[in-house]
DNA sequence: TAAGATTTAATCGTACACGATTTAAATTTA
DNA sequence: TAAATTTAAATCGTGTACGATTAAATCTTA
């Protein structure tokens, strides 16, 4: 009984793992012409909303630590998407600012993603329902993660 | 209108990205005492269902190529979870067999996961519904991935 | 049956992702 | 205010992930 449940087919964790990796692959393909990876694009999404966040703040939005973020931001800096600037008020903090390229390319990126992802034909209701459930689940998981801390 | 789709699209891809990474962290923590990573555990789930699959077959189940799988299987071999054996009938193929350790530890692993994930309080209906939606979405994404193939 | 195509793994280079440690700056407190 | 603590980034080591290439075995077909 327990064993039936523990097949790959029945694992919610695997369904999410799979869906996530398909998103990854799809977006990687769509973004490649721009010289962007999927996580880099997610970082741009956050910065398009609010420019000049600190590394810490950006990390909180993306659930990423500096071990992941610092090298990624440096790569994005090397490709002229963003610029890093250490705060003069508090020298521990590094703020991240969009570069002109990131503003200029925004519309083209959005247009291409819409064009290439729309054919998936995901219904609006499907979207909303799924997202609500995922966000609920994500909160529960995060809570459990924090209660198991260490 | 284009932006409406874009906004929704972003939220969904981000929700999945987040939920996936929370699952990752949670399972990583739960599996650490066994010296297993989350992807390694998924590989065990597949092999517990059907032992002796070839690398190719295992990769198909997990949606992983040899660039990911070969090194992972070698690490699992080094930790006595599995054994690799090149087929004598077709020397291109490598079959992967569970080692005694993988059978002996199975129940303990399953029990611990049940115990540590249960507190998330995911209802059965919620679970089923979400999985169905995710699998549907995953299929659509995979299809689109294949139609954009290079 | 020999040349060409296909299949299967392995390898390589790049890019996340994470926990742990280190370093330096800022804040708290004794 | 000096010492202890906290905070923010950077760095390090390990482990996925992926596309591209390589190499060897097998299969197809002219």
User: pLDDT tens digits for B20-36?
Assistant: 999 999 999 999 999 99
Query: Which residues, in sequence order, are bridge partners of residue A52?
Result: none
Mean pLDDT of A83-94: 97
Neighbours of B46 (CB within 10 A): 20
Burial class (CB in 10 A: 0-12, 13-18, 19+), B79: middle
The whole-angstrom separation of Cα A142 and Cα A134 is 12
| pLDDT tens-digit map of B94-119 | 999 999 999 999 999 999 999 998 88
- Report residues 94-123 of B contacting strand D, contact meaning Cβ closer than 7 Å: none
**Tell me, what's the pLDDT at A149?**
66
The whole-angstrom separation of Cα A82 and Cα A31 is 17
In this model, does residue A65 exceed pLDDT 90?
yes
Which of B120 and A140 is assigned the larger pLDDT?
A140
Neighbours of A75 (CB within 10 A): 12
Mean pLDDT of A62-89: 97
Query: In this structure, which CATH number among 3.40.50.1980, 3.40.50.300, 1.10.10.10, 3.20.20.140 belongs to the domain A29-112?
Result: 1.10.10.10
Predicted confidence band of residue A3 (pLDDT cuts 50, 70, 90): low
Structure tokens at A109: 């990126």
**Tell me, what's the pLDDT at A150?**
54
Asked if strand C contacts A71 at the CB level, meaning under 7 A, the answer is: yes
CATH architecture of B26-120: Orthogonal Bundle (1.10)
In this model, does residue A125 exceed pLDDT 80?
no
Predicted confidence band of residue B3 (pLDDT cuts 50, 70, 90): low
The whole-angstrom separation of Cα B60 and Cα B58 is 5
Mean pLDDT of chain B: 92
The whole-angstrom separation of Cα A129 and Cα B18 is 16
Highest mean pLDDT among A6-20, A56-70, B128-142: A56-70
Percent of chain A with pLDDT over 90: 71
Contact list, B148 vs chain A (CB under 8 Å) = 26, 29-30, 116
Q: At what angle do helices B66-78 and B38-49 cross, to 10 degrees?
A: 90
Mutate to test the interface with B, among A22, A36, A48, A128 (most CBs of B within 10 A): A22
Contact list, A126 vs chain B (CB under 8 Å) = 133, 136-137
Mean pLDDT of B79-86: 98
Predicted confidence band of residue A86 (pLDDT cuts 50, 70, 90): very high
Mean pLDDT of chain A: 91
| pLDDT tens-digit map of A101-120 | 999 999 999 999 988 887 87
Structure tokens at B35: 């010296």
Backbone angles phi, psi at A149, to 5 degrees: -40, 130
Tell whether the torsion through CA atoms of B128, B11, B141 and A41 is positive or negative.
negative
Which of B72 and B127 is assigned the larger pLDDT?
B72
Q: Which of B20, B66, B62, B70 is nearest to B41 (CA)?
A: B62
Q: Which positions of chain D lie under 7 Å from any protein Cβ?
A: 7-13, 15-20, 24-27
**Tell me, what's the pLDDT at A73?**
98
Burial class (CB in 10 A: 0-12, 13-18, 19+), B84: middle
The whole-angstrom separation of Cα A61 and Cα A147 is 20
Mean pLDDT of A125-131: 83
The whole-angstrom separation of Cα B17 and Cα A22 is 11
Minimal-distance CA residue of chain B relative to A45:
B10
**Tell me, what's the pLDDT at B57?**
98
The whole-angstrom separation of Cα B130 and Cα A15 is 9
Predicted confidence band of residue B1 (pLDDT cuts 50, 70, 90): low
Percent of chain A with pLDDT over 70: 96
Mean pLDDT of A127-142: 89
**Tell me, what's the pLDDT at B2?**
57
The whole-angstrom separation of Cα A137 and Cα B130 is 10
In this model, does residue B150 exceed pLDDT 80?
no
């Amino acid at each position: 009984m327990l064993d039936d449940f523990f097949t790959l087919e029945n694992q919610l964790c695997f369904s999410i793992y799979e869906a996530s990796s398909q998103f990854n692959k799809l977006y990687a393909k769509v973004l490649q012409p721009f010289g962007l990876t999927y996580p880099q694009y997610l970082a741009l999404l956050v910065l398009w909303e609010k420019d000049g966040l600190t590394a810490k703040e950006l990390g909180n939005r993306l659930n990423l630590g500096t071990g992941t973020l610092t090298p990624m931001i440096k790569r994005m800096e090397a490709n002229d998407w963003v610029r890093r600037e250490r705060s003069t008020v508090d020298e521990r903090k590094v703020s991240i600012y969009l570069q002109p390229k990131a503003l200029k390319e925004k519309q083209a990126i959005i247009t291409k993603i819409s064009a290439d992802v729309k054919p998936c034909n995901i219904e609006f209701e499907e979207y909303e329902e799924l997202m609500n459930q995922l966000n609920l689940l994500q909160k529960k998981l995060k809570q459990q993660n924090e209660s198991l801390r260490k």
